[in-house]
Structure 1
Amino acid sequence: MRPDIGFGAQSRAVYAENPLESRGRLFPEPESPTRTPFQRDRDRIIHSSAFRRLKHKTQVFVYHEGDHFRTRLTHTIEVSQIARSLARALRLDEDLAECLALSHDLGHTPFGHEGEDVLHECMAPFDGFDHNAQSLRVVTHLEQRYAEFDGLNLAWETLEGLVKHNGPLVGPDGAPLGKFKGSRLPFAIREYAQRQDLLLDTWPSAEAQAAAIADDIAYDAHDLDDGLRAGLFAIDDMRDVPFLADILADVDNRYPGLEESRRIHEIVRRSITHMVEDVIRQAVRNLTDTNPQSAQDVRMAGRCLVEFSSAMAAAEKEVKRFLFARVYRHEDVLAVRRVVARVVRELFEKLRAEPGMMPDPWNAGLETLSDNDVARRVCDYIAGMTDRYAIEEHRRLFDDTPDLG
């Protein structure tokens, strides 16, 4: 007997996604007798090669700088925890929220955002590169493990949330929105849209919205933590940000003389708590006001429902501005970014000119591909690399690989 979606099924809100009513998979499969569609998707993501590689893909700090800084994998786990907490409080489907959190960074390149920026520049003549679109490409094409299909054949709700967790990608007229306004949607999204309609002109499910804001919360918290522990700024520098200054004052008042490492942890965990609780309060207000009676009502609400309050949104922007100045634009970070940018650019240029230098199976059938398709294959190959593997490949192909140590 198939379970009625397991623990928590009775408390799921009417506006939550119901896995019993999933729109299914591109390639139909028999239902599992023990797992919901979203639980199966979560398991497929965790067992994928792309998920395992997240362990050796970095965020801000590259792999040589220490074992205690976040990687894409640790970040993903933190996002997943926050997304599940939000979903539980809002009576959403926790498995879907977790699934979207676990999959959101599968398309990221080696060396964090620098790798993405360089690949986008290199791919400019060939339709560009976008990590979110690449995540879709990973789960619908590049993971080649199953006998009957390429990709992971995830449920419609998972793919929809993965593609547009930050909001609609096109307007009612089909014109791209947001960062794609005035241009075209990324190649991977356009390509897949020909096979399955993901309703790109609507908002995503509440579960996808929860995963998206969980990503922001986790980013802010762990970049504060890593930046402090790396010595890029001092605790007292955070007094320039009122939100952080209030937290710091509370910690110091409660625990005078607290040792540095515990002081950092208290600040970070309280920032997460304040943001999570704010999102829950604001989402409850939004859901009460809009009164959605189904998951589709959430999509058609015309706005994000799982969000910060206006006050917290302003505070969070101040935190991001602080991190941009003190961490992302710190000269020590920029110096490494310049080095890894060279690695990615030279890898692309070399392999674009000599694609046969790629290993099996990436070098198969090249003679049948167009120039654009060859460039896309090179891009896929590089985007899937870990930091270490990118350095090793550069060392294999060049005699002057930079030393990141």
Structure 2
Amino acid sequence: MNYSNIRQHLEDLEIKTLHPKAAKSLYAKRDVQEEECPVRTKFQRDRDRILHSKAFRRLKHKTQVFLSPEGDHYRTRLTHTLEVAQVSRTIARALRLNEDLTEAIVYGHDLGHTPFGHAGEFILKENGSYHHAKHSLRVVEKLENEGKGLNLTEEVRDGILKHSKGKSPLITEGNMPKTLEGEIVRIADKIAYINHDLEDAIRAGIVSESQIPEYIVKVLGKTKSERISTIVISVINTTIENEYKHIVMDEKVYNAMYSLRDFLYENVYFAEPVIKELDKAKGIVKALYEYYLKNYHLIPNYEKYLKLWGEYSPNQAAVDYVAGMTDRYALKKYSEIFIPKVWAVV
């Protein structure tokens, strides 16, 4: 094997070693055809394009649950993304599905999140059809690469769009990813955030381990490691037992995991200390959105994107700009626009 056929060797290896229902990079399609990389498969290139994007770098300064925490060990959107990637690859490898595809989807799945987490998303939803999964897709299709997009494969874009399920069941016919790898990310996202949000809430003193219902502890385990292992092993075994119809877990584990999610909603996400800060964040995002809606000519690159795309509504421009902000950049712009400066009078 030499340099010129490494990619072809990897594509052949996928066909020979992956499960028959795994997505194969050889057959992946892009909207715009391009010359193939001699070393990397299509899914590997997609992963790298997202990893090197500006939107991915901004995730390190975007809130997961706790706004501007004083400790260094609370999760951000970036650390959440890396944890989802680890869970996804573990499941994909065990099931002989395509790890590169799951990783690419994971890296792109939260690019569309607003500053201040779901507080920011709530405000932008009030002013249109904003949803972070749809906006994540917009980021990779339109906003990145100076408005030209990343030209990702259909499989990666589909997985990004359909990774989010809200409070609906894991298997929701009519809104499922087209690949099993996309289904893995859909489950891994939930596995990761439920467990790391609980760990962060315990660290913050909002809840204690003793408050976790006994039923959940009995089924899933006492520690974060035990809970994740229990769920992941259940996903692997149950998916195999069900002959890869969907990525699933057994009913007992499924019910316990959702009970843990309900526990978080009742005791963490709507806890008074969290809600108080989220209300402040909503005020900031609302003020910025309304300001840039009225002053859209001040949005960087507005004229450039208008010329590139042929149309670019003030509302969409305001949403794109505000949604792309990190927490600290939003605070900076809010301070510049709305907080009076102290004048030095001689």
Matches within 5 A, 1:58-207: 58-121=63-126, 123-124=127-128, 128-145=129-146, 150-165=148-163, 203-207=177-181
| Structure 2 CA distance for aligned equivalents of residues 220 and 202 of structure 1 | 21
1:134 match: secondary structure: helix
Relative distance call for 1:50 and 1:7 in structure 2 (3 A) is farther
Matching residue's letter, 2:137: L
| Structure 1 CA distance for aligned equivalents of residues 305 and 90 of structure 2 | 47
| Structure 1 ranges of 4+ moved more than 6 A | 365-372
Indicate conservation of the 8 Å contact 1:241/1:322, yes or no: no
| Structure 1 CA distance for aligned equivalents of residues 44 and 188 of structure 2 | 19
| Structure 1 CA distance for aligned equivalents of residues 237 and 203 of structure 2 | 32
| Structure 1 CA distance for aligned equivalents of residues 26 and 309 of structure 2 | 42
Of 356, 374, 378, the residue aligned with 2:314 is 374
Shift of 1:63: 2.3
Relative distance call for 1:205 and 1:390 in structure 2 (3 A) is same
Indicate conservation of the 8 Å contact 2:11/2:26, yes or no: no
Of 49, 57, 64, the residue aligned with 1:44 is 49
Q: Give CA-to-partner distance per residue, 1:291-316, whole Å, 9 cap, x none.
A: xxxxxxxxxxxxxx102222112111
Shift of 1:27: 1.2
Indicate conservation of the 8 Å contact 1:366/1:374, yes or no: no
Relative distance call for 1:370 and 1:363 in structure 2 (3 A) is closer
| Structure 1 CA distance for aligned equivalents of residues 188 and 160 of structure 2 | 14
Of 30, 33, 36, the residue aligned with 2:38 is 33
Q: Give CA-to-partner distance per residue, 1:298-344, whole Å, 9 cap, x none.
A: xxxxxxx1022221121111001110111101100000000000000
Shift of 1:74: 0.1
| Structure 2 CA distance for aligned equivalents of residues 224 and 213 of structure 1 | 17
Indicate conservation of the 8 Å contact 2:133/2:164, yes or no: no
Shift of 1:287: 1.7
Correspondence for 2:193: 219
Indicate conservation of the 8 Å contact 1:355/1:363, yes or no: no
Indicate conservation of the 8 Å contact 1:165/1:204, yes or no: no
Matched, 1:14 2:5: no
Unaligned runs of 5+ in 2: 342-346
| Structure 1 CA distance for aligned equivalents of residues 112 and 91 of structure 2 | 24
Identity of aligned residues (%): 39
Shift of 1:224: 0.9
TM-score, normalised with respect to structure 1:
0.76
Correspondence for 2:344: none
Unaligned runs of 5+ in 1: 168-177, 180-199, 252-266, 291-304
| Structure 1 CA distance for aligned equivalents of residues 164 and 134 of structure 2 | 12
Of 266, 273, 285, the residue aligned with 1:332 is 273
Q: Superposition RMSD on alpha carbons, in Å? A: 2.6
Q: Give CA-to-partner distance per residue, 1:33-85, whole Å, 9 cap, x none.
A: 10000000000010000000000001101124322100000000000000000
Q: How many residues align?
A: 329
Indicate conservation of the 8 Å contact 2:220/2:256, yes or no: no
Indicate conservation of the 8 Å contact 2:124/2:130, yes or no: yes
Shift of 1:203: 4.5
Indicate conservation of the 8 Å contact 2:239/2:247, yes or no: yes
Shift of 1:161: 1.7
| Structure 1 CA distance for aligned equivalents of residues 157 and 296 of structure 2 | 31
Indicate conservation of the 8 Å contact 1:57/1:63, yes or no: no
Matched, 1:310 2:283: no
Relative distance call for 1:353 and 1:134 in structure 2 (3 A) is same
Larger RCO: 1 or 2 (CA < 8 Å, sep 6+): 1
